[in-house]
């Protein structure tokens, strides 16, 4: 599993083989939390065709309708893996090097 796209502090898109997972900062009833959902085939195709623009639009939809997406939350099952991958990615010194 690895981070492939991100909007720091808002969302991270991770890939695991052919699967994509979107980790989104959202909230319900005044409580903020991270929602991790596996993209379905339609959403994965949307990302492949639309890139970050598609993901930004999807994130807005999920944030506006968090309750509808809550049942897709996989954070309990994959929390340790996802947090470790994001933490390792954020602390990778190669990520912070300036481009030549």
Beta carbons within 10 angstroms of residue 50's beta carbon: 13
The least confident of 5-14, 25-34, 45-54, 56-65 is 25-34
Residue 13: strand pairing partners: 5, 22
For the chain, give every domain's residue range: 2-96
Report the C-alpha gap between 7 and 60 in whole angstroms.
Answer: 12
pLDDT, one tens digit per residue, over 35-86 is 889 999 999 999 999 999 999 999 999 988 877 777 677 666 677 677 778 7
Kindly list the strands in the beta sheet with 19-28, ordered across the sheet, starting from the edge strand earlier in the chain.
2-7, 11-16, 19-28, 31-38
């Amino acid at each position: 599993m690895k981070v492939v796209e991100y909007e720091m502090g808002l969302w991270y898109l991770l890939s695991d083989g052919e699967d994509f997972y979107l980790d989104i900062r959202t909230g319900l009833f005044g409580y903020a939390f991270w929602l991790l959902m596996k993209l379905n085939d339609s959403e994965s195709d949307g990302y492949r065709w639309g890139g970050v623009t598609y993901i930004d639009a999807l994130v807005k939809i999920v944030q506006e309708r968090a309750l509808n997406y809550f049942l897709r939350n996989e954070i309990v099952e994959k929390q340790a893996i996802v947090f470790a991958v994001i933490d390792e990615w954020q602390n990778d010194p190669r990520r912070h090097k300036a481009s030549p």
